[in-house]
Amino acid sequence: MFLSSRVGLLCGLLLACLVNMACAKTWQINSAAQLNEVCKQVQAGDQIVWANGTYADEDIKFAPQNKGQKDQPITLRAQTPGKVVLTGNARIFIEGSHLVVSGFDLNGGSIKSDWVIRFERGSEHCRLTQTRIHDKNGDGHKAKWVYIHGRFHEIDYCTFTNKIVEDNLLTVWLDDAKLDPAKGVGHAIHDNYFANRPKGTDKNGWEIMRIGDSKTSMMAAHVRVYRNLFEKCDGEIEVISNKSCFNVYENNTFLHCKGQMTLRHGNNCIVRDNVFIGEGHELNSGVRVIGEGHVVQGNYMENLNGEQFYGAIVLNNAFAEGPLHGYWPVKDCVIRDNLLINCRSPFDIGVKPETSKAFVAPTDTLLEGNTVINPTGLAVISFRQEKQGHLTWKNNRITGMEITQKLVAGNQEPLSEDAFALLKESPASVREMALQRLKPLDREDVGATWAR
């Protein structure tokens, strides 16, 4: 009896799914005005197909009156991926639940507001995929390209290239994190291509990505940023600016970027298994740590010629009692199992601006199992402040030091006997094994497939 009831229930659910799939409609449109009318009628599972062509100044508002469902999203897509080209002042506004936007090419033109694609407040489980924003700079109007409110969104297989105007390319806001502080906003940003961001001015605001801001920096965001390629992203020192808590950055590749992954505000983030490859430029950097409870583990860094703030792994100094937008103490962090090859300043400890009152040194932090091969600067560890906090160096390995180089420069407590040892394995084999494990991304791995 019980078995037959379960079979009957499963059959009923299957039948309901088939009925819903059969009822799903495909709507054909070629303008934002038509989309507005269709959005009054579409149901979960429906697809809205925008006809191929080039369209100028379309103000697209994808805000269906009905919600999509987890397995039946409402989709707005190009007829052929990449063949719906949006120029001029075109922009896309996304509002709702379980929505998908796919296949559009926002190519060139100007920006009439402070964003190009916007996920609205209150939206949940929406996805932007197979879409490109390229060279949309117009008359130089300051603007972000992707503006993310809401929760649990996904941005994947998109291409973002040639942004030259001021402001972050992609910004995550945490307005909706207060709905469930334990879960945060929970976005996933993966398999995207970010490239060709030339150096901006000396002001802040030229990042590729910012997760949170200083006002909300103590909130848990729970954003995952993974398998993205950042190539020649030179806008400023912070290629990614983390400004919230409990985020994960993993399996990304930073190729020839004049900048770094910066844990600027917030605590308890993970930077794991990323690849940083420079071209020997003085602004090539790796990871800069500010805050508490961070883990920097398993990253690969090669040919990074920066020092001080642009070192390979940087532990920042802090204010004793600073504001939210200041520098918070580095404390209770773990720097483990990173591989640094041909880097000028593998570990830069206690950096601060010359005019800054940031005098609290990093403390209670473990640096363990890291490997340094052929360092190119004056020292492997550079302490930038006389008074140092308590750091534990353990089971790190090194090879390829010249007789003129020092293990440590600056004032510091003597290192323990097990802090560093000579690398016994072949440096070439260590490098090869790391690259096989991490598999650095290239242009054919990520971004909109039609734009590769």
The string of pLDDT tens digits covering residues 198-224 is 999 988 899 999 999 999 999 999 999
The confidence band for 19, taking pLDDT boundaries of 50, 70 and 90, is very low
The confidence band for 21, taking pLDDT boundaries of 50, 70 and 90, is low
**What SS3 state is found at 224?**
strand
Q: What is the pLDDT of residue 10?
A: 52
State the Cα angle at 318 between 313 and 321, rounded to 5°: 160
297, containing H or E segment: strand 295-297
Q: What is the pLDDT of residue 16?
A: 47
Amino acid at 97: S
**pLDDT digit string (tens) for 229-272?**
999 999 999 999 999 999 999 999 999 999 999 999 999 999 99
Task: Return phi, psi of residue 203, to 5°.
Answer: -80, 165
18, containing H or E segment: helix 2-23
The confidence band for 5, taking pLDDT boundaries of 50, 70 and 90, is low
- Residue 140 in tokens: 């130089």
241, containing H or E segment: strand 238-243
Beta bridge partners of 190: 156, 226
What mean pLDDT comes out for the span 337-366?
91
**Helical ranges in 28-142 per DSSP H:** 32-38
Q: What is the pLDDT of residue 285?
A: 99
User: Would the pLDDT of 15 be above 70?
Assistant: no
Q: Is 65 exposed, middle or buried (0-12, 13-18, 19+ CB in 10 A)?
A: exposed
Least reliable range by pLDDT among 333-337, 347-351, 358-362, 389-393: 358-362
The confidence band for 112, taking pLDDT boundaries of 50, 70 and 90, is confident
**pLDDT digit string (tens) for 173-199?**
999 999 999 999 999 999 999 999 999
Higher pLDDT, 395 or 111: 395
Q: Greatest CA separation found in the chain?
A: 83
8 Å CB contact between 370 and 396: yes
Q: Write the DSSP assignment of 153-187 as a string of letters.
A: -EEES-EEE---SSS-SEEE--GGGGGSTTT----
Q: What is the pLDDT of residue 373?
A: 98
The confidence band for 12, taking pLDDT boundaries of 50, 70 and 90, is low
Residue with tokens 């707005």: 76
**pLDDT digit string (tens) for 51-83?**
999 999 999 999 999 999 999 999 999 999 999
Instruction: List CB contacts of 445: < 8 A, sequence separation 6 or more.
Output: 191, 227, 229
Q: What is the pLDDT of residue 2?
A: 44
Q: What is the pLDDT of residue 138?
A: 80
Measured distance CA(412)–CA(432) in Å, rounded = 34
Instruction: List CB contacts of 376: < 8 A, sequence separation 6 or more.
Output: 305, 342, 343, 344
Measured distance CA(311)–CA(343) in Å, rounded = 8
Tell me which residue of 322, 244, 316 sits closest to 287, measured CA to CA. Answer: 316
Measured distance CA(353)–CA(33) in Å, rounded = 53
Least reliable range by pLDDT among 240-244, 321-325, 327-331: 321-325
Measured distance CA(198)–CA(370) in Å, rounded = 32
What mean pLDDT comes out for the span 283-300?
99
CA 409 to chain centre: 33
**pLDDT digit string (tens) for 116-132?**
999 999 999 999 999 99
- Strands, E, within 57-187: which ranges? 59-62, 74-78, 84-87, 91-94, 99-102, 104-107, 117-119, 127-129, 132-134, 146-148, 154-156, 159-161, 170-172
Task: Return phi, psi of residue 22, to 5°.
Answer: -65, -30
What mean pLDDT comes out for the span 405-412?
88
**What SS3 state is found at 42?**
coil
Determine how β-strand 391-394 pairs with β-strand 420-422.
Answer: unpaired
Measured distance CA(225)–CA(207) in Å, rounded = 15
State the Cα angle at 184 between 178 and 188, rounded to 5°: 140
What mean pLDDT comes out for the span 320-324?
77
What mean pLDDT comes out for the span 36-58?
98
Q: What is the pLDDT of residue 150?
A: 98
**pLDDT digit string (tens) for 133-157?**
999 998 788 999 999 999 999 999 9
User: Would the pLDDT of 280 be above 90?
Assistant: yes
Q: What is the pLDDT of residue 8?
A: 54
User: Would the pLDDT of 312 be above 60?
Assistant: yes
Measured distance CA(248)–CA(331) in Å, rounded = 18
Amino acid at 439: K
Least reliable range by pLDDT among 265-269, 334-338, 393-397, 405-409: 405-409
- Residue 6 in tokens: 């379960």
Q: What is the pLDDT of residue 402?
A: 92
Measured distance CA(126)–CA(94) in Å, rounded = 8
Instruction: List CB contacts of 425: < 8 A, sequence separation 6 or more.
Output: none
Distance separating the N- and C-terminal Cα atoms of the chain:
57
Task: Return phi, psi of residue 54, to 5°.
Answer: -110, 130
Q: What is the mean pLDDT of the chain?
A: 94
Least reliable range by pLDDT among 27-31, 294-298, 318-322: 318-322
- Residue 189 in tokens: 């940003």
Q: How many CB atoms lie within 10 A of CB 180?
A: 13
What mean pLDDT comes out for the span 269-292?
98
The confidence band for 22, taking pLDDT boundaries of 50, 70 and 90, is low
